């Protein structure tokens, strides 16, 4: 941890300080520090900087915060740590460096988790995203029995083999910050590291939003519109993919990113419909498959783009 | 003789894979050594989260030399043959070959000596192959090399390989090879946090000791012993008792290289949650043991955790951290439990209308209805109250929709019992909610409460008939719906509760309740019965009993009362162990063999009563008389279900059968006498069919 930081910027006092400490650490490892993607998504993995950039031969090191929307996890602000909107901190390094575990442990030290007093463990957790057609092997990282991060060596993304393999780290920011700040309720997190009147808590920023969105997600979200949006996103995705092949030949693609946006959109709309409880068990599977088909087609398009490594 | 030390140092290996991996490594290396003529003295493999290690001691330093003779062409053979021989054997001229004298002509013999190679060279050849082909259940690629084809796959990234070979008294050599950029050496690393520095090792003895000094206990058994002993001591010292859990111990020992056992606690109020739920929460999510009060036997508000580090603050932070994690988990569990209690089990049932049990078998709701109807039918047959059985079947699956079961599937059934009791259901009904899943396997307890038995049978028979109807039967090693287990469950329920019921009738009734109608519906119950016969055979075989007798009894046809089949098989087994039984079986087989041959010869069967007027010999008459008596006696005994008495009756056949074969020539010159005698033999066969088809019994 950087001892020169002013008190209100220290990761154990301030949520934003905590995020900044992680960003600084990974910037120093050569990562580009991106800003959140401007779309609603269920996890940081959906960000094209991970899903698409993980594919193809070109090296890629990036880190970013991504708000994650999980409509079903809303609890109207009543649950101490479950929310329909929270932050993930995502690191992706391709190819995975040989010392990625050490880097991860150093990043914990940078946010105030000292491995000489904490029990840090790598516990098997195979990662799979059925909607993204992706899987990898790795661990959930435990600190004193608490899962604080997800550590994955991507083997396949969007149906495409990763060559070379990228290493992905996902930190659950609120949970880690709660641990470091020693609070039991996420809304009690000190957001800005100030005291007294100047203090802003996580609850000040997000509690109302949690209440409003929980009501929206579970009770009010317009399902007719959402069903329509799903279809529109699906159709648009396919359309852009078709239109993106240069000269109509399947050799180079010019529109993988806009097409993939529609895939992200479809996935989020599906999550909303799921939270509204209007998708039956059997339909659920077919929706997941439909999103996966889009993701796979986007992956296929991406590897025919310049950043995807096409010659 | 020299020893091998091999260590594969990697990132964290999943706990559940470690034991098998160590065993595979030992097996693969030693089998290869033996195949290479290097017979070793002993081998042992170890695993920790970060390493697989193997020591093989007493390996010969060199392979033995091999001398082989190779026969060549005759003397004076054409030059082409000679040249071919020289080329194949590596001889420079025929002068190096021996000549072997032979009456058919002398020929050349080449003596080929293949000198053995140094063991270390053999190892350098076999070890990389083993590493490349190692059977991990799941393996992965990593790093820059994974961009190219043919890169190494390992369970998690592999970082270092230690491979040394040498005598105890000397500095060992490194078995040199390189795999995917990793060069073998003699450098390993200690505990990730407490002693991460590189360690130079020579051979197994110093390797194990240096690791221990670097806070790594290599032997998983030693780690288990430490965890178990420390956990017992820690709990005992406070008047508590560890709730032992072997599977958890195995797992935890695979998560640490340096186990440090500590105790934490949680708020008393959580003890209001059912113990099984507390245990599932703490065990599954946190990999911690739970603790009971030695006096009351009830759970206490303590748990035992195993850390991987001697923390500089004595573990205070770690214990506090674990407590902070367990608290919300228990809080969730308590919330789930209390939420569940607010809804009556029957009020959950409508939701099952939306849940598909199987695409072709309809919804869970339909299935619950079927089970209810079947349970009501079975109830009187097993001494259960029909109303209670119906009610139990109605509620038994409802807990699947509770929060607690959603979170911890392993407490399904059990929660149903708790919730049923909480809403004031009859004790038998509540018990059935839990017990209708039983028995889950050959060692699981079989319920005895008639209500549980009725619902358990209905549940299993509905499953079996349903999947039979849509032709989803188990094949080979595939049994995705656990139908073999269900059939065994039915067998055990019937046998251990001594129940009488006609499986054909129950199956037909279950079939009638299905909406899916198979094409050959009338064949289904008997088809299913044959499956039960197979399962019964498997079960008897596993118990070490004779399983061929099952066929002998089923072959009688019309047998669908499992209890009677089992009893008959038991009586038959006992009988066949006696001298009378063995000899009678031999006699019957002889009669059957003769009949078989003659029936084939004459292309006819010899059914029908023999004509008493044609009996010429006393032995014929005696046998005919005995058959008549035995048949009547055995049939009467069978009708009374006294199979032991039926077998005793059979025993009386033995002397006249023996006497008949001794004195009577079946194939008499007089065709009429011959036919009559064959008919008499046929009578033996049919008389014995009162108890079993002896022709199906193996000798």
**Using the beta-carbon criterion (under 8 Å), do A136 and B286 form an inter-chain contact?**
no
Verify whether the Cβ–Cβ distance A119 to B313 is below 8 Å: no
pLDDT digits (tens, 9 = 90+) for B527-540: 898 899 889 888 88
Question: Up-side HSE of residue B569: CA atoms within 13 Å toward CB?
Answer: 27
Q: Residue B335, Cβ neighbours under 10 Å: how many? A: 15
Q: Indicate whether A3 pLDDT > 80.
A: no
A61–chain B Cβ distance below 8 A for any pair: no
Choose from B321, B357, B360 for mutation: most chain A CBs within 10 A.
B321
Other CB atoms closer than 10 Å to residue B73's CB: what's the count?
A: 19
d(C-alpha A115, C-alpha B308), whole Å = 11
Confidence category of residue A117, pLDDT binned at 50, 70, 90? very high
Distance from CA of B545 to the nearest CA of A (A): 43
Interface A–B counts its CB contacts (< 8 A) at 118
Any B CB within 8 A of A57 CB: yes
pLDDT band at B88 (very low <50, low <70, confident <90, very high): confident
DSSP assigned state of B52? E
Cα–chain center distance at B54: 28
Q: What pLDDT, on the 0 to 100 scale, is given for residue A281?
A: 67
Question: For the segment B242-266, what is each residue's pLDDT rounded down to a tens digit?
Answer: 999 999 999 999 999 999 999 999 9
> Which of A95, A144, A281 faces B356 most closely, judged by CB atoms?
A281
Contact A124 B328 (CB under 8 A): no
Exposed / middle / buried, residue B170 (Cβ in 10 Å: 0-12, 13-18, 19+): exposed
Instruction: Give DSSP secondary structure letters for B78-122.
Output: -HHHHHHHHHHHT-SSGGGSEEE--TT--EEEEEEEEPPPBHHHH
Indicate the range of A140-154, A282-296, B221-235 predicted with least confidence: A282-296
Which of A97, A164, A184 faces B146 most closely, judged by CB atoms?
A164
Outline where DSSP puts E strands in B167-211.
173-174, 178-179, 182-185, 187-189, 198-200
Contacts of A281 in chain B (CB under 8 A): 354-356
**What's residue B593's pLDDT?**
85
Name which of A57, A80, A124 is nearest B15 (Cβ-Cβ).
A124
User: Tokens at residue B310, please?
Assistant: 């001697």
**Cross-chain residue pair B193–A120, CB shorter than 8 Å:** yes
* Pairwise CB contact (< 8 Å): B147 & A153: no
Query: B225: distance to nearest CA of chain A, Å?
Result: 21
The pLDDT score that the predictor gives to residue B322 is 95
Phi-psi bin for B438: left (phi > 0), alpha (psi -120 to 50), beta?
A: beta
Q: How far is B189 from chain A (nearest CA, A)?
A: 14
The minimal CB distance from A119 to the residues B143, B318, B326 is found for B318
A145 interaction partners in chain B (CB closer than 8 Å): 286-288, 305, 321-322, 325-326
User: Chain B: nearest CA to A71, how far in angstroms?
Assistant: 19
pLDDT (0 to 100) of residue A105: 97
Q: How far apart (Å, rounded) are the C-alpha atoms in residues B199 and B134?
A: 26
Distance CA A15, CA B40 (A): 61
Average pLDDT value over all residues in chain B: 91
Instruction: Give the per-residue pLDDT at A5.
Output: 86
pLDDT value of position B34 = 95
Nearest CA among B93, B131, B110, B155 for reference residue B6: B131
Nearest Cβ partner of B321 from A146, A164, A281?
Answer: A146
Whole-number Å distance between alpha carbons of B631 and B608: 15
Confidence of residue B103 (pLDDT cuts 50, 70, 90): confident
Tell me which residues of chain A, numbers 96 to 155, contact chain B at a CB-CB cutoff of 8 Å: 96-98, 101, 115-124, 126, 136-139, 143-146, 153, 155
Query: Where does the pLDDT of residue A282 fall: very low under 50, low under 70, confident under 90, or very high at 90 and above?
Result: low
**In degrees, to the nearest 5, what angle opens at C-alpha B173 toward C-alphas B121 and B155?**
75
Helix (H, G, I), strand (E, B) or coil at B545: coil
Q: Which residue of B has its CA nearest to A145?
A: B322
How confident is the model at residue A255, as a pLDDT? 96
Distance CA(A114)–CA(A118), nearest Å, equals: 6
Distance to chain B for A67, nearest Cα, Å? 24
CA dihedral B438, B439, B440, B442 (to 10 degrees): 170
Asked if A57's CB is within 8 angstroms of B147's CB, the reply is yes
Instruction: Give A144's contacts in chain B (Cβ within 8 Å).
Output: 317-318, 320-322, 324-325
Q: Does A235 touch chain B (CB under 8 A)?
A: no
Task: Enumerate the residues of chain A whose CB falls inside 8 A of the CB of residue B312.
Answer: 116-117
Contact: B145, A164; criterion CB under 8 Å: yes
Bridge partners of A87, per DSSP, are A67
Minimal Cα–Cα distance from B546 to chain A, Å?
Answer: 45
From chain B, pick out residues whose CB is under 8 angstroms from the CB of A138. 156
Main-chain dihedrals φ then ψ at residue A15, nearest 5 degrees: -65, -40
Neighboring chain A residues of B143 at a CB cutoff of 8 Å:
95-98, 164-165
- CB–CB contact A155 B140 (8 Å): yes
Q: What is the mean pLDDT of chain A?
A: 94
Q: What confidence tens digit (pLDDT) does each residue in B132-143 have?
A: 999 999 999 999
CA distance linking residue B267 with residue B293, whole number of Å: 15
Does B317 contact A146 at a Cβ distance shorter than 8 Å? no
Alpha helices in B436-523 (DSSP H): 450-469, 483-496, 503-512
pLDDT of residue B497: 94
From chain A, the residues in CB contact with B322 under 8 A are 144-145
What is the C-alpha separation between B374 and B370, in angstroms, rounded? 6
Q: Kindly identify which residue of chain A lies nearest to residue B181, measuring between CA atoms.
A: A98
Cβ B193–A116 below 8 Å, yes or no?
Answer: yes
* Partner residue facing A145 (CB), from B49, B155, B321: B321
The helix or strand, by DSSP H or E, that contains position B434, with its residue range, turns out to be: helix B427-435
Cβ proximity of A217 and A84 under 8 Å:
yes
Residue B292 pLDDT: 96
More confident residue, B605 or B197: B197
What percentage of chain B has pLDDT greater than the value 70?
100
Cβ A117–B156 below 8 Å, yes or no? no
The pLDDT score that the predictor gives to residue A2 is 67
pLDDT of B699 strictly over 70: no
pLDDT, residue A200, reads 98
What residues of chain A lie within 8 A of the CB of B155, using their CB? 137
Query: Does A76 contact chain B (CB < 8 Å)?
Result: no
Instruction: Judge: A144–B286 Cβ closer than 8 Å, yes or no.
Output: no
* Residue found by looking up tokens 């017979």 in the block: B39
pLDDT at residue B445 tops 80 = yes
Mutation target for B interface from A104, A144, A168, A174: give the one with most B CBs within 10 A. Answer: A144
* DSSP 8-state assignment for residue B451: H
**Nearest residue of B to residue A142 by CA position?**
B286
Instruction: Say yes or no: A281 contacts chain B, CB-CB below 8 A.
Output: yes
The tens digit of pLDDT for each residue in A187-238 reads 999 999 999 999 999 999 999 999 999 999 999 999 999 999 999 999 999 9
In this prediction the ipTM stands at 0.94
CB contacts of B157 in chain A (<8 Å) are 96, 98, 153
- Give the pLDDT confidence of B282-306 residue by residue, as tens digits: 998 899 999 999 899 999 999 999 9
Nearest to B553 by CA among B399, B693, B404, B365: B693
Residue B515's pLDDT band (boundaries 50, 70, 90)? Answer: confident
Out of A140-154, B83-97, B670-684, pick the least confident: B83-97
Compute the nearest-CA separation of A123 from chain B (Å).
Answer: 7
pLDDT at B134: 97
State the DSSP code for B362: E
Provide the pLDDT for residue A311.
63
Q: Cβ-count burial of B171 within 10 angstroms (0-12 exposed, 13-18 middle, 19+ buried)?
A: exposed
Local structure of residue A15 (DSSP, 8 states): H
The answer on pLDDT for B553 being more than 70 is yes
Percent of the residues in chain B that have a pLDDT greater than 90, as a whole number: 57
Inter-chain touch B11–A81, beta carbons under 8 Å: no
- Across the interface, whether the CB atoms of A153 and B140 are under 8 A apart is answered yes
Helix (H, G, I), strand (E, B) or coil at B23: helix
Residue of B nearest to A278 (CA): B354
Q: Which of B49, B147, B355 sits opposite A95 (nearest CB)?
A: B147
């Amino acid at each position: 941890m950087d001892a020169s930081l002013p008190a209100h910027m220290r990761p154990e006092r301030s949520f934003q300080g905590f995020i900044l400490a992680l960003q600084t650490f990974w910037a120093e490892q050569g990562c580009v520090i991106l800003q959140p993607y401007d779309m609603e998504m269920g996890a940081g993995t959906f960000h094209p900087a991970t899903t698409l950039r993980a594919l193809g031969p070109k090296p890629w090191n990036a880190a970013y915060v991504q708000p994650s929307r999980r409509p079903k996890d809303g609890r109207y602000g009543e649950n101490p740590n479950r929310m329909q909107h929270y932050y993930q901190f995502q690191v992706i390094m391709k190819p995975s460096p040989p010392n990625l575990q050490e880097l991860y442990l150093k990043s914990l030290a940078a946010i105030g988790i000292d491995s000489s007093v904490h029990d840090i463990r790598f516990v098997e957790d195979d990662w799979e995203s059925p909607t993204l057609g992706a899987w990898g092997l790795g661990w959930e990282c435990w600190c004193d029995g608490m899962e604080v991060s997800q550590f994955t060596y991507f083997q396949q993304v969007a149906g495409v083999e990763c060559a070379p393999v990228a290493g992905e780290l996902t930190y659950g920011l609120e949970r880690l910050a709660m641990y470091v700040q020693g609070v039991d309720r996420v809304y009690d997190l000190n957001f800005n590291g100030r005291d007294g009147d100047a203090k802003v808590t996580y609850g000040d920023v997000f509690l109302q939003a949690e209440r409003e969105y929980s009501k929206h997600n579970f009770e009010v979200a317009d399902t007719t519109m959402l069903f329509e949006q799903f279809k529109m996103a699906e159709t648009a995705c396919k359309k852009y993919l078709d239109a993106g092949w240069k000269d109509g030949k399947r050799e180079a693609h010019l529109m993988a990113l806009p097409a993939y946006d529609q895939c992200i959109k479809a996935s989020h709309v599906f999550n909303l419909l799921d939270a509204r409880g209007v998708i039956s068990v059997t339909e659920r599977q077919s929706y997941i498959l439909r999103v996966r088909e889009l993701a796979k087609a986007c992956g296929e398009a991406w590897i025919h783009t310049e950043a995807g490594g096409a010659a | 003789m020299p020893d091998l030390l091999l260590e594969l140092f990697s990132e964290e290996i999943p706990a559940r894979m470690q034991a098998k991996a160590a065993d595979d490594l030992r097996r693969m290396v030693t089998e290869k050594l033996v195949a290479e003529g290097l017979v070793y003295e002993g081998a042992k493999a170890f695993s920790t989260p970060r390493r697989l290690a193997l020591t093989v001691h007493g390996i010969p330093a060199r392979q033995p030399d091999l001398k082989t003779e190779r026969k060549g062409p005759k003397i004076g053979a054409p030059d082409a043959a000679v040249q071919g021989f020289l080329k194949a054997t590596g001889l420079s001229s025929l002068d190096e070959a021996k000549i072997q004298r032979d009456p058919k002509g002398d020929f050349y013999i080449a003596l080929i000596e293949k000198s053995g190679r140094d063991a270390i060279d053999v190892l350098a050849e076999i070890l990389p192959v083993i590493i490349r082909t190692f059977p991990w259940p799941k393996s992965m690629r990593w790093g820059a090399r994974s961009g190219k084809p043919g890169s190494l796959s390992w369970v998690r990234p592999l970082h270092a390989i230690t491979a040394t070979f040498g005598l105890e008294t000397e500095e060992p050599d490194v078995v040199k090879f390189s795999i995917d950029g990793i060069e073998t050496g003699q450098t390993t690393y200690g505990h990730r946090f407490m002693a991460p520095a590189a360690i130079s090792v020579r051979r197994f003895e110093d390797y194990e000791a240096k690791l221990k000094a670097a806070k790594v206990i290599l032997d998983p058994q030693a780690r288990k012993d430490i965890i178990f002993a420390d956990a017992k001591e820690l709990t005992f010292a406070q008047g508590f008792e560890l709730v032992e859990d072997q599977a958890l111990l195995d797992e935890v020992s695979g998560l640490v290289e340096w186990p440090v056992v500590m105790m934490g606690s949680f708020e008393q109020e959580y003890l209001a949650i059912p113990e099984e739920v507390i245990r599932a929460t703490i065990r599954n999510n946190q990999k911690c043991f739970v603790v009971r009060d030695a006096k009351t036997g009830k759970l206490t508000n303590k748990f035992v955790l195993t850390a991987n580090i001697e923390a500089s603050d004595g573990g205070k932070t770690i214990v506090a951290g674990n407590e902070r994690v367990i608290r919300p988990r228990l809080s969730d569990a308590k919330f789930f439990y209390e939420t569940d209690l607010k809804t009556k089990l029957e009020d959950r049932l409508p939701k099952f209308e939306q849940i598909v049990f199987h695409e072709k078998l309809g919804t869970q709701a339909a299935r619950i209805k079927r089970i209810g109807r079947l349970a009501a039918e079975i109830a009187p047959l097993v001494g259960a109250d029909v109303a209670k059985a119906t009610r139990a079947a109605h509620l038994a699956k409802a807990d699947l929709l509770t929060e607690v079961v959603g979170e911890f599937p392993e407490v399904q059934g059990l929660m149903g019992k708790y919730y049923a009791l909480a809403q004031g259901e009859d004790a038998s009904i509540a018990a059935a909610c839990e017990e209708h899943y039983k028995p889950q396997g050959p060692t699981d307890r079989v319920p005895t409460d008639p209500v549980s038995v009725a619902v358990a049978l209905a549940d299993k028979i509905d499953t079996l008939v349903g999947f039979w109807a849509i032709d989803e039967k188990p094949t080979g090693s595939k049994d995705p719906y656990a139908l073999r287990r269900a059939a065994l469950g039915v067998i055990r329920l019937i046998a251990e509760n001594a129940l009488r019921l006609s499986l054909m009738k129950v199956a037909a009734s279950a079939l009638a309740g299905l909406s899916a109608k198979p094409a050959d519906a009338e064949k289904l119950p008997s088809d299913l019965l044959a499956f039960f016969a197979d399962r019964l055979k498997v079960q008897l075989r596993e118990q070490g009993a004779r399983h061929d007798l099952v066929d002998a009894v089923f072959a009688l046809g019309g047998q669908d009362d499992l209890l009677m089949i089992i009893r008959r098989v038991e009586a038959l087994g006992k009988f066949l162990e006696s001298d009378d039984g063995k000899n009678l079986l031999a006699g019957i087989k002889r009669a059957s063999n003769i009949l078989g041959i003659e029936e084939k010869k004459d292309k006819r069967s010899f059914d029908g009563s023999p004509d008493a007027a044609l009996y010429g010999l006393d032995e014929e008459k005696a046998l005919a008389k005995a058959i008549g008596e035995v048949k009547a006696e055995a049939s009467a005994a069978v009708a009374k279900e006294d199979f032991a008495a039926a077998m005793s009756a059979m025993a009386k056949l033995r002397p006249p059968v023996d006497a008949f074969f001794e004195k009577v020539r079946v194939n008499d010159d007089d065709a009429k006498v011959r036919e009559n005698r064959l008919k008499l033999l046929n009578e033996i066969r049919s008389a014995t069919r009162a108890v079993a088809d002896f022709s199906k019994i193996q000798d």
